[in-house]
Amino acid sequence: MLILGIESSCDETAAAVVRDGYEVLSSVIHTQIALHAPHGGVVPEIASRSHIEKIPSVIRRAVEEAGCSFGDIDAVAVTYGPGLASSLLVGLSAAKGLATALGKPLIGIDHIEAHIQSAFLAPESPRKEDFLPLLALVVSGGHSAIIRVGTEGRPRVIGQTLDDAAGEAFDKAAQLLGLGYPGGPAIQKAALSAHGELGYEFPKGHISRDNPALGCLRADLCFSFSGLKTSLRTYLQKNPVRDEEHRNRIAAAYQDAIVDALASRCAKALKSGKCKGFAVGGGVSLNAALRARLKEVAEEAGVPIFLPEPKYCGDNAAMIAALAGTGAGIRGDAAFLLDATPNLTFA
Ligand code: KG4
Ligand code: ZN
């Protein structure tokens, strides 16, 4: 079964062909970072226009590089949410048109669930199905969630950020520190160059139990990053950056706070969740300090950890086609009726 995946939820235009859910035959990603960098973040209007311009050639290349033809494709899978409405619409419209023209099924895929699948895309990687129930941490520029995938394969959010996403926290800090966009790689690079401690700890995003935004989620599995950003701003007002070393130490302390917030909540979830494995995905999962810390957390909990290859950490379409290949997603006539769903959450 060959599935063509299409992804356009944010600032990457991507297409990929995956065989039987696990074998990636091609994965083409056109990133818009250079277009958004001068603005310090993603501009939706610029993003959707670029998707429209690039999507035909990205899809064509994915099919060519897979060594097949459009006639060989058995189904078209596409992200329908969450993400930017005007960006999602481009991929969704392309996929509906293509599936209709080819006379093939359309499969609507949840972007966050697909990030979990990205941890199982390496050629030697085991099958996700063998590690259910599975705990997953998805951390990107738009989302930060701890998810439990049950034995029947259904994902459920058990913890999340109550405000900013982890990637957003990195991006905003980089802006405050004058380190450019995207912030994650810039903060990581600065943190790596720090030669000593800052001597100041940023808050670890703890949530009080009576926070109304929790709904039915556990306070000790949720986190907040908006206070962290504010505390950096306050710190910088009182302690303006003195030199390169000072900036690097601030970056390292800030990164520590994010890593600690995420890792401590995952450790708690693994303690209480009786999971067989731990998967991580999303752009922030590229962060070396986070990867190292999460490996320790998994080891302490006695479960295997599955981390995506760097090329599958950020947004890509291989994860979309792969997840569709495992049987997930909206299918049949319902798929052709799907609308772009910016705030899509698991049912
Ligand atoms: O998954 P992704 O490519 O797009 C979204 O769906 O948001 O994630 C992008 C985010 C950005 O906020 C970027 O700063 C962050 O991932 N990121 C990192 C690193 N590389 C990218 N954050 C921390 N450390 C990194 N090395
Ligand atoms: Zn993403």
How far apart are the C-alpha atoms of 91 and 77, rounded to whole Å?
Answer: 10
Residue whose CA is closest, atom 22 of ligand 1? 184
Q: What is the dihedral of CA 286, 291, 293, 299, to 10 degrees?
A: 160
Q: Which atom of ligand 1 is least distant from the CA of 168?
A: 12
Beta strands in 150-211 (DSSP E): 155-160
> Does 258 sit in the ligand 1 pocket, CB within 6 Å?
no
Instruction: Tokens 């996929």: give the residue.
Output: 95
Q: Is pLDDT at 205 greater than 70 in this prediction?
A: yes
Residue 134 tokens read as 């599975």
User: What is the whole-number distance in angstroms between the Cα of residue 287 and the centre of ligand 1?
Assistant: 8
Encoded tokens for 158: 């058990």
Listed in order, strand segments (DSSP E) in the chain are 2-7, 12-19, 23-31, 75-81, 106-110, 134-139, 144-149, 155-160, 277-281, 305-306
Residue written as token pair 């001068």:
38
Q: How many CB atoms lie within 10 A of CB 130?
A: 10
Integer Cα distance of 51 and 15 in angstroms: 12
The residue to which tokens 């064509």 are assigned:
60
Q: Rounded mean pLDDT of 244-262?
A: 98
- Ligand 1 centre distance from Cα of residue 218 (Å): 26
Confidence of residue 272 (pLDDT cuts 50, 70, 90): confident
Q: Ligand 1 pocket test: which of 32, 170, 309, 316 has the largest number of ligand atoms within 8 Å of its C-beta?
A: 170
What proportion of the chain, given as a percentage, has pLDDT over 70?
Answer: 100
* Alpha-carbon gap, residue 178 to 250, rounded angstroms: 12
Counting ligand 1 atoms within 8 A of each CB, the residue from 172, 284, 291 with the most, and so the one to mutate, is: 284
pLDDT grade, residue 51 (50/70/90)?
very high
Ligand 1 mutation pick, 140, 293, 309, max ligand atoms within 8 A of CB: 140
Q: Is 148 helix (H, G, I), strand (E, B) or coil?
A: strand
175-195: per-residue pLDDT in tens? 999 998 889 999 999 999 999
Q: Is 312 in the pocket of ligand 1 (CB under 6 A)?
A: no
Task: State the pLDDT at residue 181.
Answer: 87
- Distance (Å) of CA 221 to CA 146, 229, 285: 8, 20, 18
Angle at 294 between CA 292 and CA 297, to 5 degrees: 120
182 lines ligand 1 (CB under 6 A): yes
Confidence class of residue 120 from pLDDT cuts 50, 70 and 90? very high
Q: What is the DSSP string of 234-283?
A: HHHHHS---SHHHHHHHHHHHHHHHHHHHHHHHHHHHHHH--SEEEEESG
244 half-sphere exposure, CB direction, 13 A CA radius? 5
Ligand 1 pocket member 167 (CB < 6 A): yes
Mean pLDDT estimate for the chain: 96
- Closest atom of ligand 1 to 182 CA is 14
Query: Taking a C-beta distance cutoff of 8 angstroms, is the pair 268, 300 a contact?
Result: no
For residue range 210-229, what is the model confidence (pLDDT) as tens digits?
Answer: 999 999 999 999 999 999 99
Instruction: Using the mean position of ligand 1's atoms as its centre, give its distance from the Cα of residue 4 in Å.
Output: 24
CA 286 – CA 89 distance, rounded (Å): 27
Ligand 2 center from residue 313 Cα (angstroms):
8
pLDDT at residue 347 in the model: 56
Query: CB within 8 A of 320, min separation 6: which ones?
Result: 5, 6, 7, 14, 16, 77, 78, 79, 109, 111, 114
Instruction: State pTM to two decimals.
Output: 0.95
Helix (H, G, I), strand (E, B) or coil at 222: coil
Contacts of 215 (CB under 8 A, 6+ apart): none
Percent share of the chain, pLDDT over 90 = 93
